[in-house]
Structure 1
Amino acid sequence: MSQRIFITGIGTGVGKTLTAACITEALQADYWKPVQTGLKEGTDTDTVRGLLSNPVSVCHREAYCLEEPASPHLAARMEEVTINVKRIIEVAESLQPANRPLVIEGAGGLMVPLNEQTFTIDFIQQLQAKVIIVAQNYLGSINHALLTARVLKHSGIPVMGWVFSGDYHSNEEEVVSWSGFPHLGRIPRTPLVDKAFVKEQGDKLSLRTTTYF
């Protein structure tokens, strides 16, 4: 079975969707966002689909789409929906390509609840996925990054490494060193995010030397 790669972030708005697009393009993987909230802003699936240029990748339909821009469990509660994690795992099994990775984008960070019993980190374990952590520099980001790394290590979840987004800061080297996880690359800030940018940045990431099968 080809490996599942789960894209998580050290927080919200750190560049997970753009990173997921770059990784999907670089590996000619399939992309899936199981739970989408905040539909008024559009879906991450539509964003990624519009940024891919290879003829192989498939962007799969979400398992749950919720209107409210909130954590999945709150958005679901407001719409009187129950997020069934077992059902999502079954969908993941059906979507998994035979010969390519499935890139799965999470909502927010590891401790975001999907329902009243299951957090994102539990979901990752059930998926048996490897993780790529997306980080960005802001006040408090070192704490968020290292907490994310610590809980992944404690949980025994395999981590492929870090992708940093936005403006460069020397904190990146320290986070990599302290965490012990590899530096896969960085995606710089740009005024124009298009297919060419995604392909260029995806090709620069250190993914093909990483074991994901």
Structure 2
Amino acid sequence: MSKKGFFVSGIGTEVGKTVASAFLQLALDADYWKPVQAGDLDFGDTDRVRSWTGMPADRYHPERYRLRTPASPHYAARVDGVEIHLTDFTLPSTERPLLVEGAGGLLVPLNEQACMIDLAAHLNLPVILVSRHYLGSINHTLLSLEVLRKRNIECAGVIFSGGDNPESARIIEKLGQVQVLASLQELEEVDFESMHTLHVTHVDEQLYKALG
């Protein structure tokens, strides 16, 4: 069991969740675990985060499921002829903080009954929600926060990935009753150098206080 863990989810797909996970791994000196990798098995999210952070191999825990099809886990598992059950997932043992990166958003189906939000609840982890500024993102972010509240799942805060929009962040913080942890700039190229620059320029005492 980890000292403290967080489940990293997004308001949708391609919002910068893996970039945010790498940023958080550096900020918290944490371990990383991707329970389900669907597609990109030659170089998946675990490989990306490790290449961006440069942390040693023992900071990364093997996926519970590695599925060939880049799709929702429930469908990718069906294509591979396997069944996913919530009881299949147990937190890796570590003495460090642990970041668990989900697949897509909170209501992405894991199987015929459960979604990613159910996996976060099963693992008993607070959620860090990754958002991104685009037309409609306020609605998507507030809906995600609302479903977390309805399920009585703690949201440790929101990270905006890919630029800043102070007014959107303000109204999300107010209406969503949530703390904005960081607003990460858009990276022209995500690599070791740019990730470490992101870490140096965006980590502050507010983030440590919220997640410490």
- TM-score over 0.5 for the alignment? yes
- What residue is the counterpart of 1:34 in the other structure? 35
Deviations 1:71-94 (A, max 9, x none): 0001101111111321212xx1xx
CA distance in structure 1 between the partners assigned to 2:180 and 2:93 by the alignment: 26
- Cα deviation for residue 194 of structure 1 reads 2.1
* Total equivalences in the alignment: 207
Aligned match for 2:108, one of 86, 106, 112? 112
Q: 1:56, 1:97 → 2: CA distance?
A: 13
1:196 deviates by: 3.0
TM-score normalised to structure 1 length? 0.90
Aligned residue identity for 2:188: P
Q: For residues 111 and 171 of structure 2, what CA distance do their matches in structure 1 show? A: 34
The separation in 2 between residues aligned to 1:208 and 1:67, in whole angstroms, is 37
Measure, in 2, the Cα distance between the counterparts of 1:149 and 1:114: 20
Deviation sequence 1:155-213 (CA, Å, 0-9, x none): 1111110100113223122111111110101111121222233233234234311244x
Summarize deviations over 1:14-70 as a string: whole Å, max 9, x none: 000000001011111000000011226730000001011355961111111111111
Tell me the CA shift for residue 139 of structure 1: 2.3
1:38-187 to structure 2, matched below 5 A, reads: 38-39=39-40, 42-54=43-55, 58-89=59-90, 92=91, 95-98=92-95, 100-169=96-165, 170-187=167-184
- C-alpha separation in 2, matches of 1:190 and 1:64: 29
Contact 2:163 2:183 in 1 (8 A): no
Deviates more, 1:146-155 or 1:199-208: 199-208
Residue 211 and residue 186 in structure 1: after superposition, are their counterparts in 2 closer, same or farther (change >3 A)?
closer
- The change in CA–CA distance for 1:39 and 1:211 in structure 2 (over 3 A counts) is closer
Query: Identity of aligned pairs, percent?
Result: 40
Query: What SS does the corresponding residue of 1:108 show, helix, strand or coil?
Result: strand
Unmatched 5+ residue regions in structure 2?
Answer: none
Contact 2:17/2:130 (CA < 8 Å) preserved in 1? yes
Q: Structure 1: which 4+ aligned runs deviate by more than 6 Å?
A: none
* TM-fit CA distance, 1:112: 0.8
Please state how far the C-alpha of 1:3 moved relative to its aligned partner.
1.4
In structure 2, what is the Cα distance between the partners aligned to 1:133 and 1:46? 22
**Shift of residue 101, structure 1, vs aligned partner:** 1.0
Counterpart residue identity of residue 100, structure 2: I
Equivalent residue, structure 2, for 1:197 = 194
Give the TM-score taking structure 2 as reference length: 0.91
Structure 2 CA distance for partners of 1:201 and 1:56, relative to 1, 3 Å: farther
